[in-house]
Chain A
């Protein structure tokens, strides 16, 4: 019996955002990346071709991180040197772009100065040709100073800077507007705040095609389903023409997964859970696969083997499906 495939016709689509600027575009990147633009639910190519494949950023920090052995094994030879670390991520591990997390700026932690952080950003920009995502340490006041300085120092590079949040968005948005960067609008697993924040940012006259949504996610086993349903709702909203939910979506997968004990606990603690290295990789790759199908456009990850697995999955998901 022939099966009739019901196809949805959507009146609208997800917006496109360009990350990174080449020389011709006013920056120094070797290439720029386009994300978003989807005319249908994730990978429903039969309802409209997905124009841009999801991209993967590998995380680099400005201080030596307290990461479990499975990650240390990949990075400990370079993790005291962000530029070398970024180079390894791009050249050896196939990162599409670099996610530079400036945790070292935290006044409660290493308290690196604004100038030191700016220097780190510049070193990473010089070391790799990939586009850059740069996010502060999470302390609002310091982050505002950081983002103003980084924004100016990397003017024209079309960085993706974060995070703009509902109670602290003006400084970073203004910095992005002046220096031609994109901004991450981060909301706490709350679609109403997600939408409202996008409205607040666009009311400052930053165009919607300069905004990327970070909906906040839970890791696998820690509320990933909340993130899934929020991303699904926002995609449905975008497809129905809700312009304030039409921005591409970024997911902090590495951060959420590797802090869970299922990913990082040594075998001695849970012998029945199997080999720790493989377990963490699978934890991260499985979370990535779920979030891809929920509509993630930019995956922030950590383990190169999880990245390789996820890239293989993206290859398959991007194959045309004609019904």
Chain B
């Protein structure tokens, strides 16, 4: 299970202020804290913290200050590919692009960009019309993303398909559809594409968020979930991931399995 730490995001006040004042302290603290928690990649999202015209420069700054304290893979998160490409240019290690949907126009930009920079790519199972209701329509988009990987020469293992989960109090019926989609994505190609979820979304606006997050994490892992963008500083979440890896026979058991998950 690849945990991508979600916390370096301009939506949070401390990161927003860090970006506006170009003060790396909060960014670097969260980078270290998430890595200690068990994150093996860090999502970087400028968000609405700075005006649109300055976001490319802000993304580069985020990449640079994060790299000063962490060697983890960086997951560049923006709806604007120019912002992502600006970040990719200064990444020292192969990065991850977050994200494209299945719209042709976006696919034509995102996949070549990933290939050019040797990056992994998150593909959302939706188009401009929004999130599909059921597994079948999610799978149709997943198939388009798989075809695009073939077309543009992105290794299938570098494609991370996100079947999109909604909050439990908003779209409760989406939970089982997402799980079904996860299982079937693995049948679309050989080698199979990877799968990812923006996990915290499942509990947005709900009570006992950590419980919902880690329960859906375990359910998802049993269906083939490879990665989550999530709260890496929630110890119960990383413990659940560690236990599920053992129970799904993905990693060999040892008495220190929780510790190994966090320090590997």
With A199-B260, A244-B260 as known contacts, state yes or no: A233 contacts B254, CB within 8 Å.
no
> B246 — nearest CB in chain A belongs to which residue?
A192
Cβ A196 vs Cβ B264 within 8 A: no
Among residues of B, the one whose C-beta sits closest to the C-beta of A11 is B157
By the criterion CB–CB under 8 Å, are B264 and A192 in contact?
no
Contact code string A195-237 (vs B, CB < 8 Å = 1, else 0): 1100100000000000000000000000000000000011001
Q: For the complex, give the distance between the alpha carbons of A195 and B257 in Å.
A: 10
Is A112 an interface position by the 8 A CB rule?
A: no
Q: A195: which B residues are within 8 A, CB to CB? A: 252-254
Residue of A nearest to B264 (CB): A243
Indicate which residue in A9, A199, A241 contacts B254 across the interface (CB closer than 8 Å): A199
Chain B residues with Cβ under 8 A from A245's Cβ?
Answer: 252
Which residues of B sit under 8 angstroms from A233, Cβ to Cβ?
A: 252
B151 contacts partner chain A, Cβ-Cβ < 8 Å: no
| Tally of contacts, chain A with chain B, CB under 8 A | 29
> Considering only CB atoms, which chain B residue lies closest to A243 in the complex?
B264
CB neighbours (8 Å) of A199 from chain B are: 254, 256, 259-260
**B-facing residues in A164-209 (Cβ within 8 Å):** 191-193, 195-196, 199
* Contact pattern, B 91-128, Cβ under 8 Å of A = 1, otherwise 0: 00000000000000000000000000000000000000
Which residues of A lie under 8 Å from residue B264 when comparing CB positions? 241-243
When distances are taken between beta carbons in the complex, the residues of chain A under 8 Å from B255 are 192, 196
Residues of B within 8 A of A243 (CB): 264
- If the complex has contacts A243-B264, A244-B260, are A192 and B253 also in contact, measured as CB distance less than 8 A? yes
Least distance between A206 CB and chain B CB atoms (Å): 16
By a CB distance below 8 angstroms, the chain A residues around B215 are none
The interface residues of chain A lying within 8 Å CB-to-CB of B70 are none
Distance (whole angstroms) from the CB of A190 to the closest CB of chain B = 10
Which A-chain residue is minimally distant from B191 (CB atoms)? Answer: A9
CA distance A242 to B251 in the complex (A): 8
Please give, as numbers and ranges, the residues of chain A lying within 8 Å of B157 by CB-CB distance: 9
What are the residues of chain B within 8 A of A9 when measuring CB–CB? 157
Q: How far is the CB of B258 from chain A (nearest CB, A)?
A: 12
The answer to whether B252 touches A191, judged by C-beta atoms less than 8 angstroms apart, is: yes
B-side contacts of A242, CB under 8 Å = 251-252, 264
Contacts of A192 on B, CB cut-off 8 Å?
252-255
Contact with A along B237-264 (1 / 0, CB 8 A): 0000000000000011111100110001
Q: Mark A237-271, 1 if CB is under 8 A from B, else 0.
A: 10001111100000000000000000000000000
Query: In this complex, which of A193, A195, A243 has the most chain B Cβ atoms within 10 angstroms of its Cβ?
Result: A195
The 3 closest A-B pairs by CB, nearest first: A195-B254, A196-B254, A192-B253
Query: 21 A-B contacts, Cβ less than 8 Å apart?
Result: A9-B157, A191-B252, A192-B252, A192-B253, A192-B254, A195-B252, A195-B253, A195-B254, A196-B254, A196-B255, A196-B256, A199-B256, A199-B259, A199-B260, A233-B252, A237-B252, A241-B264, A242-B252, A242-B264, A243-B264, A244-B260
Chain A residues within 8 Å of B, Cβ to Cβ: 9, 191-193, 195-196, 199, 233-234, 237, 241-245
Given contacts A195-B252, A196-B254, 17 further A-B contacts (CB under 8 A): A9-B157, A192-B252, A192-B253, A192-B254, A195-B253, A195-B254, A196-B255, A196-B256, A199-B254, A199-B259, A237-B252, A242-B251, A242-B252, A243-B264, A244-B254, A244-B260, A245-B252
